[in-house]
Amino acid sequence: MTQTMILTGASRGIGAAVAEIYLAKSPSHNLVAIARSESALNALKEKYGDRVKTVAGDITDEKIVSEAVEKALEFGSIDSVVANAGVLDPVDTVAKADIAKWKNLFDINFFSVVDLATKTLPHLKKSNGRFVAVSSGASTSSYYGWGAYGASKSALNHLIQTLVAEDKEVNAISIAPGVVDTNMQEDIRNKFGANMTPESLQKFIDLHKNKGLLPAEVPASLLVNLAVKGWGSDLNGGYYRIGQDALKETFFTDVHQIAQNRQSKGPRGQLLKAPIGLRAYSKFPSSDKKKSEDKSNQNSNDQKNSKEQKKSPFSKGYVLGALGILAVGSTVLASVYTKHEPKSAPEPKKGPAFSDKDVSVVFVLGGPGSGKGTQCGKLVNEKGFVHLSAGDLLRAEQVREGSSDGALIAQCIKEGTIVPQEVTVRLLRNAVADNVAKGKNKFLVDGFPRKMDQALTFEDEIVKSAFTLFFECPEQVMLDRLLERGKTSGRADDNIESIKKRFRTFIETSMPVVDYFDKQGKVVKLRCDEPVDTVGNRVKEALVKRGIN
Ligand SMILES: Nc1ncnc2c1ncn2[C@@H]1O[C@H](COP(=O)(O)OP(=O)(O)OP(=O)(O)O)[C@@H](O)[C@H]1O
Ligand SMILES: O=c1ccn([C@@H]2O[C@H](COP(=O)(O)O)[C@@H](O)[C@H]2O)c(=O)[nH]1
């Protein structure tokens, strides 16, 4: 039987996985996909043809929502809505709240969902359809700096509860998807971490490093199950976390068993009630599938399924059979099934290789062309520092015979993006160790760390930095210097295209590192749009003030 879903945030992460799983699951599934990125939407259209209609635009724009509803009705009905679009930004304490940014977040995470509910509920009631909202564990626990996000998700839970309280014919539910491997997580690690507690940020970085993040397909399979098949009346209007018993009992996704082995620490060290790093099992016994098509008996069927599940013990054969039935699914979920075996507990941290009492590291940061290399060069002669330029180390590695990272480094440098930290940290670790072995213990680490993960890994594994020298310089001055340098440097990135990209990376990815150390009182800021010697004197004064002569 034909079904039509409206999905927001369809271009990336969980939304993209929902679209894929839902469309692949049955040829009678139609989708109206809303997202800002037209290209991702077009790719869906190309793949699934007439079964997909797209609306490119901002979900906070009421016209966009209306257009999506109109397009869904062209298919004949609206059977489910998955309100998935959401943002985490702004991340900062309430004391520093920027109200305009909070309002913008609420427009996206909350008011757009109110709008979507208002416009779709009459149609969902006609089809006995389902409204599924993507919430968060942050809706019930507070995380430092996440006030706006948590409050919006709390409001979302309340909205869902209210929809059902106001009209018993409405099917609505709110789901926390767990800690999922999405762009939001990448932003947490690299952008927002500066405004979180170091411990909290470290937890997210460790989750990523230890492969503890859920693949997007796991929550997506749950969301699709809910949207397509519905839930028991006892769950209606509620908020549930992936892996929670209530979902196991009533639905077809069982992550609970694995969750019990994988109860993980939350971002601040507390035990999360919601399990993370789970494996997906999708239970679609053929009888259930048939029943699910009969939407008029939705709730009673689900309760029956629940009983059946209690009777049938969980077995691999059963899961594999179920995967076979899932048309989608057989590819996406099977890969989840095989690739994400629970990992053994990560090894305990060993701590940095060197003590900051024995080895002194000063990070030198600033925009491209701000003069970091020039000043470091002077300090080597005048103060006996070892100058380690991350950029120089990477350029040397790029051309080293036998290097397996050469091509990747070349591409990152040209594009002004950051080489994965494993490569750069390894090069720096070796360089520090080589010099320490020669009795040298004062380092200027130039142009590093450029990304939050690098900062944390370096300090965790090599040595804690003494402080950071930060060179402030107007962009125009840096641009002029780099274009001038480009006449003779031979560098692949001293050209206008690369420079623009490097400026962008500097603002978006590297400035959070400066903010992070600044919050710990470990940044000395210096103006550097003056003659080399003037800047040099400022640098030397700053070092003396910090006890480095
Ligand atoms: N204070 C200054 N006044 C004028 N020119 C300067 C000054 N400092 C550096 N320069 C020149 O600007 C250019 C960029 O300087 P430098 O290479 O030291 O910058 P950087 O911050 O290390 O750049 P990148 O991050 O791209 O490696 C060089 O050609 C250098 O000679
Ligand atoms: O930690 C780092 C430092 C540098 N890169 C890459 O190298 C280029 C050039 O760096 P400079 O400091 O300007 O010499 C930079 O744009 C990055 O692409 C890096 O990836 N990680």
**CATH code of the domain covering residue 199:** 3.40.50.720
Task: Tell me how many domains the chain contains.
Answer: 2
* Mutation test residue for ligand 2: of 493, 499, 500, 505, the one with most atoms within 8 Å of CB: 493
pLDDT over 70 (residue 377): yes
- Indicate which ligand has the atom closest to the C-alpha of 367: 1
Ligand 1 centroid to Cα of residue 370, in Å, is 5
Helix (H, G, I), strand (E, B) or coil at 493: coil
Which pTM does this prediction carry? 0.60
Domain assignment present for residue 416? The answer is yes
Q: Are residues 365 and 251 in the same domain?
A: no
Confidence of residue 548 (pLDDT cuts 50, 70, 90): confident
Q: Which pair of tokens denotes residue 229? A: 């098949």
For the ranges 6-15, 93-102, 194-203, 413-422, the lowest mean pLDDT is seen at 194-203
Q: Check whether 450 is labelled as a binding-site residue.
A: yes
pLDDT reported for residue 300: 34
Q: Last residue of some domain: 255, 281, 300?
A: 255
- The more confidently predicted of residues 54 and 285 is 54
pLDDT reported for residue 249: 59
Q: Check whether 369 is labelled as a binding-site residue.
A: yes
For the ranges 115-119, 321-325, 433-437, the lowest mean pLDDT is seen at 321-325
**Ligand 2 atom with the shortest distance to the CA of 498:** 16
Only one residue has tokens 């210096």, namely 526
Domain assignment present for residue 391? The answer is yes
pLDDT reported for residue 251: 52
Q: Is the beta carbon of 419 within 6 A of some atom in ligand 2?
A: yes
Structure confidence by residue, pLDDT tens digits, 127-176 = 999 999 999 999 999 999 999 999 999 999 999 999 999 999 999 999 99
pLDDT over 80 (residue 279): no
Q: Check whether 505 is labelled as a binding-site residue.
A: no
pLDDT reported for residue 28: 96
Which strands make up the sheet holding 29-35, listed edge to edge?
A: 52-56, 29-35, 3-8, 80-83, 130-134, 171-176, 239-241
Domain assignment present for residue 479? The answer is yes
Ligand 2 centroid to Cα of residue 62, in Å, is 43
What mean pLDDT do residues 510-528 have? Answer: 94
pLDDT reported for residue 349: 55
Ligand 2 centroid to Cα of residue 409, in Å, is 9
pLDDT over 80 (residue 277): no
269 torsion bin: left (phi>0), alpha (psi -120 to 50), beta (else)? left
What mean pLDDT do residues 296-317 have? Answer: 32
What mean pLDDT do residues 412-438 have? Answer: 95
What mean pLDDT do residues 500-522 have? Answer: 94
pLDDT over 90 (residue 312): no
**Ligand 1 atom with the shortest distance to the CA of 494:** 26
**Cα gap 350→54, rounded to integer Å:** 50
Q: Are residues 241 and 367 in the same domain?
A: no
Which strands make up the sheet holding 360-366, listed edge to edge?
A: 386-389, 442-446, 360-366, 467-472, 523-527
Label the pairing between strands 130-134 and 171-176.
Answer: parallel
Q: Are residues 373 and 247 in the same domain?
A: no
Instruction: Point out which residues pair with 523 in neighbouring strands.
Output: 468
Ligand 2 centroid to Cα of residue 390, in Å, is 6
Ligand 2 centroid to Cα of residue 436, in Å, is 24
pLDDT reported for residue 164: 97
pLDDT over 60 (residue 13): yes
Q: Are residues 188 and 59 in the same domain?
A: yes
Strand locations in 399-455 (E): 442-446
Q: Is the beta carbon of 129 within 6 A of some atom in ligand 2?
A: no
Helix (H, G, I), strand (E, B) or coil at 9: coil
**Ligand 2 atom with the shortest distance to the CA of 394:** 7
Ligand 1 centroid to Cα of residue 503, in Å, is 14
Minimum CA distance residue for ligand 2 atom 11:
391
Domain assignment present for residue 324? The answer is no
What mean pLDDT do residues 258-286 have? Answer: 32
Minimum CA distance residue for ligand 1 atom 28:
485
What mean pLDDT do residues 269-286 have? Answer: 30
Domain assignment present for residue 540? The answer is yes
Find out whether 71 and 53 touch, Cβ atoms under 8 Å: yes
For 361-399, give one letter per residue: b (16+ CB within 10 A) or e: bbbbbbbbbbbbbebbbbbeeeeebbbbbbbebbbebbe
- Indicate which ligand has the atom closest to the C-alpha of 502: 2
pLDDT reported for residue 211: 83
Q: Which pair of tokens denotes residue 11? A: 């271009």
Q: Are residues 367 and 238 in the same domain?
A: no
Q: Are residues 244 and 369 in the same domain?
A: no
pLDDT over 60 (residue 319): no
Q: Are residues 77 and 206 in the same domain?
A: yes
Domain assignment present for residue 36? The answer is yes
Ligand 1 centroid to Cα of residue 462, in Å, is 28
What mean pLDDT do residues 17-42 have? Answer: 95
ipTM over 0.90: yes
What mean pLDDT do residues 279-301 have? Answer: 31
pLDDT over 60 (residue 346): no
pLDDT over 80 (residue 359): yes
Q: Is the peptide bond before 449 cis (omega within 30 degrees of 0)?
A: yes
pLDDT reported for residue 324: 29
Q: Are residues 375 and 504 in the same domain?
A: yes
Ligand 1 centroid to Cα of residue 378, in Å, is 12
pLDDT reported for residue 381: 84
Domain assignment present for residue 527? The answer is yes
Q: Is the beta carbon of 394 within 6 A of some atom in ligand 2?
A: yes
Q: What percent of the chain has pLDDT over 70?
A: 81
* Mutation test residue for ligand 2: of 398, 419, 495, the one with most atoms within 8 Å of CB: 419
What mean pLDDT do residues 307-316 have? Answer: 30
pLDDT reported for residue 190: 87
Q: Last residue of some domain: 230, 255, 280?
A: 255
Ligand 1 centroid to Cα of residue 41, in Å, is 43
pLDDT over 50 (residue 292): no
User: Which residues does ligand 1 sit against, CB inside 6 Å?
Assistant: 366, 368-374, 391, 447, 481, 484-485, 528, 531-532, 535
pLDDT reported for residue 194: 84
Q: Check whether 244 is labelled as a binding-site residue.
A: no
* Mutation test residue for ligand 2: of 418, 498, 513, the one with most atoms within 8 Å of CB: 418
Minimum CA distance residue for ligand 1 atom 12:
481
pLDDT reported for residue 313: 25
Confidence of residue 491 (pLDDT cuts 50, 70, 90): very high
Of 79, 212, 83, which is closest to residue 135 (Cα–Cα)? 83
Confidence of residue 270 (pLDDT cuts 50, 70, 90): very low
**CATH code of the domain covering residue 425:** 3.40.50.300
Ligand 1 centroid to Cα of residue 367, in Å, is 10
Confidence of residue 225 (pLDDT cuts 50, 70, 90): very high
Structure confidence by residue, pLDDT tens digits, 239-249 = 999 988 888 75
Domain that holds residue 84: 3-255
**Cα gap 66→289, rounded to integer Å:** 32
Q: Last residue of some domain: 255, 275, 305?
A: 255
**Cα gap 18→47, rounded to integer Å:** 15
What mean pLDDT do residues 417-435 have? Answer: 95
Helix (H, G, I), strand (E, B) or coil at 389: strand
- The more confidently predicted of residues 210 and 349 is 210
What mean pLDDT do residues 228-252 have? Answer: 83
pLDDT reported for residue 122: 98
Q: Are residues 212 and 80 in the same domain?
A: yes
* CA 489 vs CA 208, 394, 498: distances in Å: 38, 16, 14
The CB-side HSE value for 480 (13 A sphere, CA atoms) comes to 5
Find out whether 332 and 216 touch, Cβ atoms under 8 Å: no
pLDDT reported for residue 428: 97
Q: Are residues 249 and 398 in the same domain?
A: no
**Ligand 1 atom with the shortest distance to the CA of 535:** 1
**Cα gap 4→80, rounded to integer Å:** 7
**Cα gap 380→362, rounded to integer Å:** 13
Residue type, 155: A
What mean pLDDT do residues 487-515 have? Answer: 95
Domain assignment present for residue 276? The answer is no
Q: Is the beta carbon of 447 within 6 A of some atom in ligand 2?
A: yes
* Mutation test residue for ligand 1: of 375, 392, 481, the one with most atoms within 8 Å of CB: 481
What mean pLDDT do residues 439-451 have? Answer: 96
Q: Is the peptide bond before 90 cis (omega within 30 degrees of 0)?
A: yes
